[in-house]
Structure 1
Amino acid sequence: MVTSNMNQLPNSSYALEFSHPEEQSMAAPWLWLSIMSLATAGVFSVLLVMARTPYLGELIPYVDFFHTALVIHVNMSVLVWNLSFACLLWSLIARPSFLLLNKAIFGLICCAAILIAIAGFLPHANPVISNYIPVLDNPVFLIGLTVFAIGIGMQVLMSLATTPSVGSGLLPDGVIRLGLSCAAISLLVALLVFLSTWLLLSKELVTHSYYEALFWGGGHILQYTYTLVMMVCWLWLGAAARIQMVMSERIISVIFLAGLLPIFVTPLIFYNYEVIDPRHRQMFIWQMSFGGSLATFPLGLAVFYGLVKRITESDRQRAAHSALMTSLILFGCGGAIGFMITGNDVTVPAHYHGSIVGVTLALMGVAYDVLPKMGFTKINFKWANIQLWGYAAGQFMHILGLVWSGGYGVQRKVAGAAQGLDSIERVAGMGLMGMGGLISSLGGLLFVIIVIRALLNRGEAKHQHPGPSESSEREP
């Protein structure tokens, strides 16, 4: 049994509670959208892994299918999943108001996500593998992407307009509001960068160059949004795992502001360089290189210190602990691999796979913890713990295989014979990548099953402060 002093740790309220019925009415739909986007991405991830795995890739006759599937997979597993889940968190910190407008925005974003997904099954998909946001150069996909951006922008503006002030006391819930507000501001800046670039770009550029330039600057800013949301989730999971934070709320608030600060260099980049100038591109690389770890490194160290000193006492705490530990490991690996990039080989996707999977694991952990707060108490935390470690292990194998293959010059964004797997070292590296990808796909599928099963079976009571023997934990 958890002792009373453990329930009163200073960081316990970093995990937000549902104080209004309206919060539950919007949080559950956002979670459904997040899960369905991840499920859609999972289907395409299996096909992608097959396309790049030696011998299996030969079973898929169309290389262009690989690129089309890659576009849908990336957009559903990164853009739609991350921002839909962020909308869930933003809905928790905003005052419950304008419920009808909230539902309308949610419906708009759902329609946009459906358009993005079905565009991959239409003829003449015309995939363009641009960095950060790859696209299908056809009207259905582009309309879906535009509507999605408009809907997300409306949701962020509403959240910022209705979020209570942080307050002078800097309590943990105020720090969470500050962190999510920083993420919202960074997303607004990213949308403004996309819009500014679109207005400044010449429409006469060739297709790939056009989309590469269009999404380069805003895509970099979008990574700050994902990172800030992940940091909020680290605090949430730390509270769920009952770890003792060694930083005060004031220091954590400064860290969040430091994580937001680098994006305000963006206007200077646009003022000094045209969007097609190579120096414009290089400045965003430097912005990410020097500013990307300003916040994650100190907060990650503090959270990791608390993790290694904490012994969990329940399946629910262990799931939060596992999500936090795997997120820190994968995100750290992704960051470290970034310093190994020297060309355009598969070391590049190894870098961003590690980083973005670190974000995904944090979101998965919060999804598990938020379900009982919403009244969905029939969730198996033992299987959740297995899922998190299985998914993380598969992704670690995946990026290890990519780093290995990148060392032997295997190029990115190609599949089948175009990979040039003409040596045992290259075949072994990409084989390890394929095996890890399949394992992580199974882990992602298990996550979807666990969460959907919980969403379809609402418990009788809502558990706000469960202990180590929660009734919400089920045996397999």
Structure 2
Amino acid sequence: MLFYLSLSLFSLIMAGIFGLLIALTRTPAVSLLKSPELFYHFLVGHVTFSITVWLMTFTLAFWHYKEGRKGRVAPPATLLGMLLLSLSCLLPYGEPYLNNYIPVVGTPLFYIGLFLFFFGFLLEVLQRLRDAVRLNELYSLSIFFGLLTLLSIPPSFLIAHPEGGMKLFFERLFWIPGHFQQFMYASVMLAVWHELLKRSSGRVVSSPLLKGANLLLLLFALPLPLGFFTDPLSESFKKQLSFSFGVGLGVPILLHSYYVLRNLRLSWNVATISLLFSMVVYHVGAFIAYGGMQSDLRIPAHYHGVVSGVTIAFMGFTYYMLKERLGYVFWESVAKLQPTFFGLGINLLVLGFYLAGSMGAPRKTYGFEYVQDVKVVLALNVMGFGGLLAVFGGLLFISYATLSLFRGYRNVRYF
């Protein structure tokens, strides 16, 4: 468990570095990078490490926490894959493709790194298939969705084609696996919400309605392979996906939110603060999607909200994983402030993205030629300030977690 927590911390460091460089580049008051080449490389690195590597390595740590260590092959493959991905995004070589879910740098280094990372994750999934049979439980569902994520990559590769350019090739390749991935993250996030509720209020919620909600997650994810028999980027299939997400994710998460909040006792501890910020940030991001989006900065406002909602929950539960395994958390007073800084920063970041997007600011764009209104400049600077505050909160998390792991290294075996 501690090994994968270490990997997840490394991935957050990389995501934070890339994210800070991007935020400072898109903040008019700073305008850090003068060339768009590295900007797009860093954008690939930020998205890959924050949406894929960080969340998947924490998922592995959570599985180990729940069921214990299983096997020794996966950690080296996962680590090597992460190192190669980092290097490929830091070096100015290869064409960056800013497709959704897993953007790509077109170099062998990136391809090999991604393959090794997914190979390590697959080995962990295969070692837990016996645990993936109780599909009305969130832990089992997360393993099953992890399996579907990886098994959907080969058929996606067969239906992907370079017609229209390599960006659309990678868009098709990762479209269905990326959507399965979101169902996996949702199931892990909900499981962590209940873990935080238990530590905050000492309550365990169990209900036939919640088990039914878990099955609803599964039911609305199963039609995703229909995309293998059509163009997964077609309007008809995108409408199906919107329905699957809107109902299949939205309804179960709302039901779990209701039960968690109804049983939550407000108190000043890491579990309560992390839980509340996680739920607020996630639902703000989801609400943006339900309100409709164009291809502008409202899209990153949406996914920064939902992904950061998951991230805040994972950060909060890391505190308890460390404390239960090591017996202490280094710099504990700072650990209790960390979710507040990170949560407030992300809310400002999302607000800045949304306001700028609603006034026409485009996404994935270098420079400020599109800025015609002082209100857009103000919104982008709010985004930049929120990014700095979120990075500060992230640094607090990385600091106390890393120092805790370092002090416990001699007493705990990582493999």
What is the TM-score normalised by the length of structure 2?
A: 0.93
What is the aligned partner in structure 1 of residue 195 from structure 2? Answer: 236
Letter in 1 for 2:18: F
- Which entry has the higher C-alpha Rg, 1 or 2? 1
Query: Secondary structure of 1:56's partner?
Result: coil
CA distance in 2, matches of 1:189, 1:341: 28
What SS is found at the alignment partner of 2:293? Answer: coil
Instruction: Give the Å deviation of 1:365.
Output: 0.8
Q: Does residue 22 of structure 2 align to residue 51 of structure 1?
A: no
Where does 1:254-269 land on structure 2 (aligned, <5 Å)? 254-269=212-227
Tell me how large the CA RMSD over aligned residues is: 2.2
Distance 2:115 2:323 in 1: 34
For 1:123-202, list aligned pairs within 5 A.
123-161=92-130, 163=131, 178-202=137-161
| Residue 301 of structure 1: how far off its partner (Å) | 1.3
CA distance in 2, matches of 1:254, 1:157: 26
**Match of 2:310, as an amino acid?**
V
Contact kept? 1:357, 1:395, Cα under 8 Å:
yes
Q: Distance in 1 between matches of 2:148 and 2:372?
A: 45
Superposed displacement of residue 148, structure 1:
1.3
Question: Does the 8 Å contact 1:259/1:296 carry over to 2?
Answer: no
Identify the residue that residue 445 of structure 1 maps to in structure 2. Answer: 395
| CA–CA distance in structure 2, aligned partners of residues 277 and 400 of structure 1 | 31
Shift of 1:103: 2.0
Quick one: distance in 2 between partners of 1:285 and 1:379?
43
CA distance in 1, matches of 2:24, 2:132: 48
Distance 2:410 2:117 in 1: 35
Residues 96 and 83 of structure 1, relative CA distance in 2, 3 Å threshold: closer
Following the alignment from structure 2 to structure 1, what is the Cα–Cα distance between the partners of residues 3 and 69? Answer: 15
1:431 is the counterpart of 2:405: no
Give the whole-Å Cα distance in 2 for the aligned partners of 1:74 and 1:220: 15
Unpaired runs of 5+ in structure 2?
Answer: none
* Alignment CA distance shift 1:276-1:343 (3 Å): closer
Deviation at 1:126, TM superposition (A): 1.2
Q: Does 1:356 align with 2:315?
A: no
CA distance in 1, matches of 2:133, 2:172: 37
Following superposition of structure 1 onto structure 2, how do residues 52-451 of structure 1 map, counting pairs within 5 Å?
52-57=26-31, 59-94=32-67, 97=70, 102-161=71-130, 163=131, 178-244=137-203, 247-271=205-229, 273-275=230-232, 277-307=234-264, 310-312=265-267, 318-418=269-369, 420-451=370-401
Label 1:164 to 1:269 Cα distance change in 2 as closer, same or farther (>3 A): closer
> For residue 468 of structure 1, what is the aligned residue in structure 2?
none
Distance 1:460 1:142, change over 3 A: closer
Aligned 8 A contact 1:127 1:137 in 2:
yes
Give distance in 2, aligned partners of 1:233 and 1:196: 31
Q: Is the 8 A contact 1:93 1:164 kept in 2?
A: no
Query: In structure 2, what is the equivalent of residue 20 of structure 1?
Result: none
For 2:224, give the aligned amino acid: T
Aligned partners of 2:98, 2:55: CA distance in 1, in Å?
Answer: 20
Q: Which residue of 2 aligns with 1:9?
A: none
1:424-447 CA distance string (max 9 Å, x none) = 111011110011011101110110
In the TM superposition, what is the alpha-carbon distance from 1:278 to its structure 2 partner?
Answer: 3.6
Shift of 1:165: 6.9
SS at match of 2:127: helix
Task: Encode CA deviations 1:277-300: one digit per residue, 9 max, x unaligned.
Answer: 443333223322232212111001
* Aligned amino acid, residue 380 of structure 2: M
Q: Which moved more, 1:339-348 or 1:328-337?
A: 339-348
Q: Does the Cα contact within 8 Å between 1:233 and 1:362 map onto a contact in 2?
A: yes
Which amino acid counterpart does residue 437 of structure 1 have in structure 2?
A: G
Aligned residue identity for 2:6? W
1:276 is displaced (CA, Å) by: 5.2
Q: Give the direction of change, closer, same or farther, for the CA distance of 1:30–1:447 in structure 2 (3 Å limit).
A: same
Question: What is the percent sequence identity of the aligned residues?
Answer: 27
CA displacement at 1:194 relative to structure 2: 2.2
Instruction: Give the whole-Å Cα distance in 1 for the aligned partners of 2:68 and 2:349.
Output: 42
Counterparts in 2 of 1:251 and 1:371: CA distance versus 1, 3 Å = same
Whether contact under 8 Å (1:378, 1:459) holds in the other structure is no
- For 1:357 and 1:127, how far apart are their aligned partners in 2? 24
The DSSP-based 3-state class of the residue aligned with 1:133 is coil
The change in CA–CA distance for 1:60 and 1:96 in structure 2 (over 3 A counts) is closer
Amino acid at match of 1:254: G
1:238-259 CA distance string (max 9 Å, x none): 11112545x4344333222222
Counterpart AA for 1:261:
L
| Structure 1 spans left out of the alignment, 5+ residues | 1-26, 167-173, 463-476
Give TM-score, length-normalised by structure 1: 0.82
**How far is the alpha carbon of 1:304 from its aligned partner?**
1.6
CA–CA distance in structure 2, aligned partners of residues 276 and 405 of structure 1: 27
2:10 is paired with a residue whose SS is helix
Match of 1:31 in 2: 5
Higher relative contact order (CA 8 A, sep 6+): 1
